[in-house]
Structure 1
Amino acid sequence: MAVLETLFVVLGVALLGALAVVVKTRLFPLPESEEPREDVAEYIAMMVSVLYAIVLGLCLVSVWDTRTSASDHAQAEASALHQTYLLADAFPGDRREPLRAAARTYADHVVDVEWPMMAARQPLDPSGWRLLEQLRRAGEVDDTATVSQQIAAQEVLAQLGNVDDARRSREAAAQERLSPVLWAGLIIGGVLTLAFMFIFGIRHTRTHVVMVMGLAGFIAFTALLVHQLDEPFGEMLGTPPEAFVRYFG
């Protein structure tokens, strides 16, 4: 559904641009005696296009890096949690199931509660940290444990440290946004690029309409693409909870 909405928006912007060209041509026709000034139009369009491409590249790199980092943090967190779950096999018999249950509870909370909140850009509540603390307590063994069991408990503690670090990074990535300066450059650059298509006259209306439709649709598409990638845990292009689901079902 989101893909169809994006296509409708792009098509709507393109048609709006075409309508604007037709209206402008009818109301303000280019006098026959006036020079078409296509050389000036081409020069200015080239300069604006280069600057716009630079800003667009910076925006795409920024949001893609954020999205990739969010995916890496989620994968690292799920992997460390899964290692903790597997290490329960080395624990005393009465400590294995509590550790496994605590790991499953934490994974379920991340997938069912925290992921929708991150997709909606809502700050996470402390409940996830409390579950992580319960997981730490479940990974403790008493003095009667054997040497191998104590070594396993130390390894669990190390893996939970990795879970802690990856969780903090995941929370930070969920709140990251594209710089307002880059957003301003993206919007202003797109508006200027379209505006110059109207400032400099083109005698062939059909050519003008096609050019404006294509350019308007492309600018709308790139703006929507940046917007979707700017949501690292969004539903359309964001990181899904695939890692946790794969390990814990």
Structure 2
Amino acid sequence: MGGLSLPGLSLFLAGVLAASVLLAVGSVWIANKTVYRPGAKRQTGTLSPFLTTVALVYGALLGFTVVVAWEQFSSAEANVTNESSTLTTMYRQTVSLPAPEQVRMRELLRTYTGAAQAEWDKRQRDGASATARSAITDMYRVLGQQTPDAHPVNAEIREQLNVLTSQRNTRVLDAKPRIPGLLWSGLLFGAVLLIGLIGFTHLGNVMSHMLLSSAIAILLGLLLFLIFWLDHPFGEQLGVTPALLDYSVQVFDGVDQGT
């Protein structure tokens, strides 16, 4: 479930920025080598409507994608927070269960929480997911051994368990990228086209032109990287981390100690 680590994200960001700068500098260099410079001002004027149109359309698409990606990221973070809250509620509710069921439910809740935290680690993900699913199934079995009339709190815990199951399923689905490949193709093509058009405009100073084009390319690269990161919300050090579940473990310990 965890995405790229912090070093991996740093290297990926560096690669994106380097590619952006190379594209910007390369566009200016090609323009200066292939475009007939005495007519550059006239060509720039002819190019301006195309540049403006591409910039407006691409800006709208980029802004829309950032907003959607941020909403999905926020939703994933809120869901994990709610999952942690549900776990603590269920653990507190076990104080009303008979001793055998109480001990077993607490063991299963701790097992599930530990497995959920381990799902962020790529090396442990498969085994942890199986453990978490097994823990949920066993909790249903424990609660199913008694009728709701015998222990009314069972019905409340069962309802919370249904909520926990739904939150887990949502978390698993949130780990999958939501932005389709076709949209990524449009974003990347639009960025290349926009930087290319900027490179073929005319400035009297070539070095200034390269610097300005590079600055715009870096901005676009940062925004595309931001979209990629938001579309992969789960991470071990950044984004939605397993630390959100640490509070549950603290509450578990407090309940065991009678606080």
| Structure 2 residue 135 is the aligned partner of structure 1 residue 134 | no
Q: How far is 1:172 from its partner?
A: 1.6
Q: How far is 1:33 from its partner?
A: 5.2
Instruction: Please tell me whether the aligned partners of residues 141 and 150 of structure 1 are also in contact (alpha carbons under 8 angstroms).
Output: no
Alpha-carbon RMSD across the aligned residues, in angstroms, is 3.0
Partner of 1:167: 168
Unaligned runs of 5+ in 1: none
Partner of 2:199: 198
Instruction: Please tell me whether the aligned partners of residues 234 and 241 of structure 2 are also in contact (alpha carbons under 8 angstroms).
Output: yes
Change (3 A) 1:244 1:9: same
Change (3 A) 1:140 1:221: same
Unaligned runs of 5+ in 2: 1-6, 251-259
Provide the rounded CA distance (Å) in 1 between the counterparts of 2:31 and 2:200. 11
Change (3 A) 1:236 1:85: closer
Aligned length: 244
| Structure 2 residue 34 is the aligned partner of structure 1 residue 28 | yes
Within-5 A mapping of 1:178-217: 178-217=179-218
Q: How far is 1:170 from its partner?
A: 1.3
User: Which of the numbers 22, 29, 47 marks the counterpart of 1:41?
Assistant: 47
Q: How far is 1:29 from its partner?
A: 6.0
Provide the rounded CA distance (Å) in 1 between the counterparts of 2:34 and 2:175. 49
Provide the rounded CA distance (Å) in 2 between the counterparts of 1:118 and 1:76. 26
Could you say what secondary structure the match of 2:67 adopts?
Answer: helix
Q: How far is 1:70 from its partner?
A: 1.5
Could you say what secondary structure the match of 1:37 adopts?
Answer: helix
State TM-score, norm by structure 1: 0.83
Q: How far is 1:123 from its partner?
A: 11
Letter in 2 for 1:13: A
Provide the rounded CA distance (Å) in 2 between the counterparts of 1:22 and 1:198. 4
Could you say what secondary structure the match of 2:233 adopts?
Answer: coil
CA-to-aligned-CA distance 1:18-48 (integer Å, 9 cap, x gap) = 5425633663364335544333333322211
Letter in 2 for 1:129: R
Q: How far is 1:127 from its partner?
A: 3.6
Q: Comparing 84-93 with 175-184, which one deviates more in the overlay? A: 175-184
Could you say what secondary structure the match of 2:151 adopts?
Answer: helix
Q: How far is 1:224 from its partner?
A: 1.3
Change (3 A) 1:18 1:189: closer
Partner of 2:157: 156
Partner of 1:239: 240
Q: How far is 1:190 from its partner?
A: 0.2
Provide the rounded CA distance (Å) in 2 between the counterparts of 1:14 and 1:158. 51
State TM-score, norm by structure 2: 0.80
Q: How far is 1:234 from its partner?
A: 3.1
Percentage of matched positions with identical amino acids: 21
